[in-house]
Structure formats: structure tokens, C-alpha cells
Amino acid sequence: MSRRDFFRATGLVAAGAVGGPALLGGLTKSHAAAAPKPAWESKFSACDICFNKCGLIARVEDGVVKKLDPNPKFLKSRGMLCARGNAGLAQVYDPDRLKHPLLRKGERGEGKWQRIPWDEALDMAAQKMAEVRDKYTPCGQLFTAGTDLHSQFVGRFAEVYGSFNVTSHESLCLVSGSRAFLDTFGEVPFADVLNSKYVMMVGANRFEALVTPDSIDLMTAIRENGCKLVTLDPRYTKTAALSHEWYPVRPGTDMAFMLALAHVIINEKLYDPQWIEEKTYGIEQLTAHVQPYTPGFASEQCGIPAEDITRMARELAANAPASMVYPGRRTSDYEDSTQIRRSFAIVNGLLGNWDKPGGLLAARQVGLKGVPYDAPWYDENQEDRIDADKVPMMFEHEGSFLVTRDAVLADDPYPIRGWFIYKTNPMGTAPNRKKTIEMMNKMDFVTVVDIAMSDTAWMADLVLPSQSYLERTDPCSGLQGSVACACVVKRDPVIEPLYESRPLFDIMKGIAGRMELGEYFDFTIEEYREMQTRDIPEALGVMDRDGVYYNPSKVYGIYDGRIYKTLSKKVELYNQRYEQMGIDPLPVYKEPDSPPKNQFRMVIGRNAMITQTSTTNNALLHEFLPTNTLWLNTEAAGKLGIGDGDLVEVSSPVGRQELKAEVTDRIRPDTVFMLSGFNTLSTMQHLSHGNGASINELLDDDYDAITGNASMHTTFVTVTRKVA
């Protein structure tokens, strides 16, 4: 079936007709006029099941969303919508969905709740926050938000309330990678895989852990543009299966491999000398630094033949600048994750691929403006965040959840006794779940705003039902990606809100008004969007018409005539700021510990059906992925007497879980793997409660020494067969 036949069969041509005559395809005007009017209305939105925010068109019939289709004018997702995006319907109409404000009546986690009116719920939330502020100063309240267009209002409220303590999900995910590339290039790049001729993918799994447009563009680059893909991963993922070469790298040795690539490129002078001279800083120091890191040394560490390492370095250089070490996304790996990702960034620096076709691209201006405000100052407050100075280079707007958790448990340097959480689930995403329960029990009052009774909501005092993305009005958001993807989106309701759900903005506004902070939320979302688009006043109308707005801008050559936002004003192979702070200015490799006898290193990863913990209870996705299993190498399983499908117990220093083994050759003998999001504590997640195993019950809580990013690949586990 052709793409056009597919769109015609699914009704997308008719559904998308509001976008303009071009969408009518081969239909003539007379045919179009004679065509019967569809029974549904077509309404634009942007998906919110994961962070990608892909454009979509909702088919609405009699006030009910019947289907979600891709928006063909939304270039970031290349006019497509993945399985998770299609399953957004099941989130809206989930029978487990939160319907009313609920107040805990029993012990935490006991599952006893009382339905209360909204006014009472907002009164209570405001009262409890006021009590915390009076007793512990404003910094006695912690605010945590996930990735959402309304999350900015949590940060706004925290600032006007007076708390410096704000964390996000990102410190469990990607901040060490962002730190590394920011400190090398001056900003975090976007990968132009569509036009690349050679992509080295280390640890990322882009054909399962979907990122738009990279996942789509990489497939196009391989199938149509002659791009070579080389994957290093201890698992034989779908990305590995579609690669030209796959190497089951020993976990934790990525830096040795990267420094060996740099060794070859530098010693064989395979780089562009003009680029290195004019645009980079520290080639002399780097040259001396990489001399011990020969391909032979790296081979002994990572298990990849030295001749292959040498060849790959030459191939990367031969295809430069249209080649790259893919910057990845999730970087929550080890205690030196920032330095590992710095080694990725340094190799890209040697390739001279910055701001070039097929390389790493800079962010483009989409035209949105901030909405400034002057927050009040509280003299009677703490001097800084509770996690300040515990790691040297934390992102303040992201914080470090693990460092914060330890500080809360120790009351160091001061107590935190209130917690407000929106659309994130640290009980289900942070390693060492027992420790998060301890943190919950330390709190005087916890308020959670979410669409579902997550494990975090399950342990809270007050749970407030939020609206789904198809029911609410959202601010504008600027999105970035590779070629032709920088755009602006907004969301308007496609259906009336269900039950008693409310948007986060209204909740924040209601609490602020009860705490004499109402002036900071004295606007509507529509007014807020007008302030955001004051320099691009045409944008709102274009989004009404097309579902997306593009502000024309350069794709390549953005840095022509510009300086880099580093101390040297160049690409910093050798980082001067690190040197000043007593941090290694060049990545220094330390061999990782090997698993003790009869133990395995646990690694994490994603699947095309899984978005952290928010989709394992989705009825549509559950049909495709009903549970998780433990990937266990065939040889290792044989030594343990474990067969495929056997029930096994997995134990670590912090917990134990049971699930079925998936005996396979697709993973290294020293490594095991399972998906996240299963075996929830909340009984109001009926598809995931008691189903499979919880990985965060097993993972230890190490973190990156530079950023505080969680280190989720440092846990060793034992696996034993459960006897019936």
C-alpha cells in the first residue's frame, strides 16, 4: 500500500482537509464538492504521551475522540504518529483515570481515599503550603514537575512562593549528556542524521526509544541516502538489528572506545587542520592526553577488535563533516556519565561537524518570547537549594532528584516537609524505590496533580485530577529538531473535559489566589499565548489553520560570524572551566568494576510502547506489551539452570523482584535487562499492578559526580530460578 493509499484508507485526506487544498490530493474540485461530509470533526493537537509533542489531528464525533491521525504538515514527526501517539485515546478514556479530588484517609500507600470538592481541595493545598512556609521557610517546600506545556507554571509558582527547591524528571534521564555537549560546544546540539553519511550510535536505541525526527530520519538515511550505521550496545536491539555493524560493547567502557577513536584521528591527522586551528581549543592537550588510549588498549577494555576501532575512526573521518557520534538522549549510566559524554562530544569536535549538513546542528530561533514577572523576595528564607554544592555543575532549573532525596532524608542543610508534584512519577522512575518511600514518609503533606493514580499519587496526601492534553488549553511551545523542524505548537481542547478534571494552570491559579499570590497568575492561557507570540503575531492564526507554525530560519551556518558560548569562545576539546573548578578538563578513563561471580550488571532501556511509567497501564499498548521479562543470556541461563519462561527472582543490594526470564542470545553473558513501569504499587493501575517486576525496586541510587544525574547502570544483581 502506498503512503497516499494509506492516508486515503484511514480518512486522513478528508480529516486533514482543513489544512488547505493541497491535502485533497488527486480529488478534483467537483469531486470534493460532491464528497459526503464526514461524520466527524477534525481538530488539531499535539501528542503528550511522551516528550516529542508530535502533531496530530483528532477525529471527534458527538463529543468523543474516535481516532488520532498524524498531522501531515507537522515536519518534526515527518507527518507520522507512533503507537504511543495513537494510544492517546486510551489515556483519555482509561477507566482507571482520576476523576475527582481525593484526600488520603488511611496510612500512606494503604489506598483509603475520600472524595472532596475542589474548593476544599484547593483550600487545603494552600493551607498546607502556608504552614510549611511559616514553619520551615519557603524552601521547606519542594516542587517537582515532568515534561509538559503547563510545567512552567509549577516553576513560576515555586518562585513566587519563595522556594529554590525545584527538580524535574530530567535529572533521572539526560542532564549529564546535556552538560557534556553544552560544555564542549556552548549549547546542546540536534543531530542531522537525515543528511549524515556515517552515524556511530553508542548506547542509544533510536528505532525503539523513539525520538522525532531522528528515528524516522535515520531509517531514511540508511535505506535511501547510503548512510552507514554502527551500533555499540550490550543488547541486540532493533537498532542493532538494522545497523551495518553491531558490537556488544562491555558496559561502562564507552569512554575508552571514544578516546581510541580520537587517538587514531589525531595521530593519523585525519581532521581538518583549518577547523581545528580556527574553531577549537585544546588540541595540544588532547593530543598528549589520548596517547595511552590506543585501539589495542580500548579493545582489551570494551571487547571490540583493535583493527575495527582503527577502521571506524578512519571511516568517521573520511565521511566528515557529514558523520557523527550520535549525541543520544538518556545518559543516566554511570558515576562519570558527564565525562563519558564529553568523550562523545570531543570526537564530534575533531570531526568538525558542528553546524554542518549531516553533523550536529545548533538550535534555531522560533520567535517565542518569555513572559517576565518580578517574584517577591523573602528575607526569612534559606540561602540556597537543599542540593546546592553537593555536585559541582548541576542545572538549577532541573536540580538532582537523587541528591535532593538524600538531603531531605538527612535534613541537610535544612528540613523539607512539603512536596508538590505534577505529571511525573518519582516513585516509579527513581532508583531505589524504598528510599523514595522514606522520603514520602518524611513529608508533612504531599500534593500530586496527575491524570492517573501513579505510585507517587498513591503515596500522597492530596491527589488532584488533571486534564488530558486533548481536553485543555496550553501555552505555546517552541520545538527543535533536525532539518526543517523548528516550530511552534499550542493545544486547544478537542473535547470537553471529562469528570472533574482541571488543568494545572487553573490549579496553580486557585492556590496562588488563596495565598495572596494571585497577581502572578492574573491572566488566561489565551492572554499568555498572545504575550508569547508578540513578535510573531501571525503565529496563532497559522496554528489554527495548520496545527503548527514555522518561523523561517537558517538550518546550517548559524554560527557563521558567531562565537561559541565557552570560555575560549571556541569548541572546547579541553575544558578551561573544568580546570578552574578542579574537574578533569579532559575525560580520564577508569575501568568499570566487573560483576562479581554469579552476578550480572543490570542495564535499562526503552521500548516503542513504553514511556517511563505512564504507558504500562494503557489498554491499547498493553495488548502489544502485556508484561516485562528479564533478558538473560542463553549461556548464563544454562549455567544457572534457568529456561526460557521460568520464573526467576532478581535481587540487588536494595531490593528483590520476581518475573519471567527471557533466555536469549541478544544480550551479553554478563548483563541483564528489563523494561520499566511494571509491578506498580497502586491498585488503581490495574494492568500494571502486580504485573512483572519493578526495575526501580532493584536499582541502586548512585549518581554522576558532576551533575547529579542518576547512574542507573551501576547495579549488580543475582538471578535465581524460583521453584514451584
Give the alpha-carbon dihedral of 119, 90, 74, 214, to 10 degrees: 110
Instruction: Determine the Cα–Cα distance for residues 425 and 156; give it in Å rounded to an integer.
Output: 20
Contacts of 233 (CB under 8 A, 6+ apart): 201, 202, 203, 205, 239, 240, 246, 247, 248, 249
Average pLDDT score over residue span 25-42: 55
Q: Residue 523: CA atoms inside 13 Å, Cβ hemisphere, count?
A: 15
Beta bridge partners, 191, equal 360
The yes-or-no verdict on residue 17 having pLDDT over 90 is: no
By C-alpha distance, which of 471, 405, 393 is closest to 438?
Answer: 405
Beta bridge partners, 656, equal 651
Helix axes 306-319, 254-267, angle to 10 degrees: 60
The yes-or-no verdict on residue 3 having pLDDT over 60 is: no
Pairing verdict, β 41-46 and 630-633: unpaired
What percent of the chain is modeled with pLDDT above 90?
Answer: 88
In this structure, are residues 584 and 379 in contact, taking their beta carbons and an 8 Å threshold?
A: no
The yes-or-no verdict on residue 612 having pLDDT over 90 is: no
Beta bridge partners, 43, equal 58
pLDDT at position 31 is: 39
Q: Lowest-confidence range among 5-14, 130-139, 169-178, 667-676?
A: 5-14
The yes-or-no verdict on residue 10 having pLDDT over 90 is: no
The yes-or-no verdict on residue 13 having pLDDT over 60 is: no
In this structure, are residues 466 and 144 in contact, taking their beta carbons and an 8 Å threshold?
A: no
**What DSSP character marks residue 609?**
T
By C-alpha distance, which of 33, 10, 44 is closest to 470?
Answer: 44
pLDDT at position 95 is: 95
pLDDT at position 611 is: 82
The yes-or-no verdict on residue 362 having pLDDT over 70 is: yes
- Confidence label for 63 from pLDDT (cuts 50, 70 and 90): very high
Average pLDDT score over residue span 118-125: 98
The predicted-structure confidence for 192-229, as pLDDT tens digits, reads as follows 999 999 999 999 999 999 999 999 999 999 999 999 99
**What DSSP character marks residue 663?**
E
Residue 181 C-alpha cell reads as 555537549
Average pLDDT score over residue span 3-32: 33
What percent of the chain is modeled with pLDDT above 70?
Answer: 95
- Confidence label for 37 from pLDDT (cuts 50, 70 and 90): low
In this structure, are residues 87 and 621 in contact, taking their beta carbons and an 8 Å threshold?
A: yes
The yes-or-no verdict on residue 28 having pLDDT over 50 is: no
Q: In the chain, how many H helices and how many E strands?
A: 26, 28
Q: Residue 557 corresponds to which amino acid?
A: G
Average pLDDT score over residue span 100-107: 97
Whole-number mean pLDDT of the chain? 93
The yes-or-no verdict on residue 399 having pLDDT over 70 is: yes
Residue 290 C-alpha cell reads as 589520548
pLDDT at position 724 is: 72
pLDDT at position 35 is: 57
Write down the pTM of the prediction. 0.93
The yes-or-no verdict on residue 11 having pLDDT over 50 is: no
Beta bridge partners, 46, equal 55
3-class secondary structure, 607: coil
pLDDT at position 436 is: 98
pLDDT at position 6 is: 32
- Confidence label for 332 from pLDDT (cuts 50, 70 and 90): confident
Instruction: Determine the Cα–Cα distance for residues 392 and 405; give it in Å rounded to an integer.
Output: 17
The yes-or-no verdict on residue 550 having pLDDT over 70 is: yes
Pairing verdict, β 102-104 and 113-115: antiparallel
The yes-or-no verdict on residue 468 having pLDDT over 80 is: yes
| Cβ count within 10 A of residue 434 | 12
How open is the CA angle 239-241-242, to the nearest 5 degrees? 70
Residue 201 C-alpha cell reads as 550510535
Question: CA-CA distances (angstroms) from residue 347 to 178, 184, 286, 661?
Answer: 16, 11, 11, 38
Average pLDDT score over residue span 139-162: 96
- Confidence label for 5 from pLDDT (cuts 50, 70 and 90): very low
In this structure, are residues 326 and 199 in contact, taking their beta carbons and an 8 Å threshold?
A: yes
Pairing verdict, β 64-70 and 166-168: unpaired
Alpha-helical runs (H) found in 162-272? 175-185, 214-224, 238-241, 254-267
- More confident: 616 or 1: 616
pLDDT at position 14 is: 31
Residue 98 C-alpha cell reads as 482520576
